[in-house]
Amino acid sequence: MTREELEAFILTKAKQAPHGFQSQLAARLGVTRSYISHFLTGKSPVPYQHLFEILDALGYKLVLQPKNSDSIVTGHPTNSDEQA
């Protein structure tokens, strides 16, 4: 999943959230509702420092798992290595 896809997911879920979600999220993060509104409307990127808390507030968690055996760690070429 790309950053853009993750942000689109967050924006979609935030739009589906109950009334008052932005205010509750702002209180939880210790920021203003205006700050929350700025990225939940797509005007700025979702800040990395709040990513996990935003996902948690929406009822999700981010899980990392291997996508396949092609990686630098295993010594097999990745797509980016093949293009270089």
Divide the 84 residues of the chain into consecutive groups of 10 and give the mean pLDDT of each group: 89 92 93 91 87 92 78 59 49
Q: How far is CA 18 from the centre of its chain?
A: 19
Nearest Cα neighbor of 55 from 43, 42, 40, 38 is: 40
Residue-range domain boundaries for the chain? 3-57
pTM of structure: 0.70
Q: What's residue 55's pLDDT?
A: 93
DSSP string, the chain: --HHHHHHHHHHHHHHSPTTHHHHHHHHHTS-HHHHHHHHTTSSPPPGGGHHHHHHHTT---------S-STTTTPPPHHHHH-
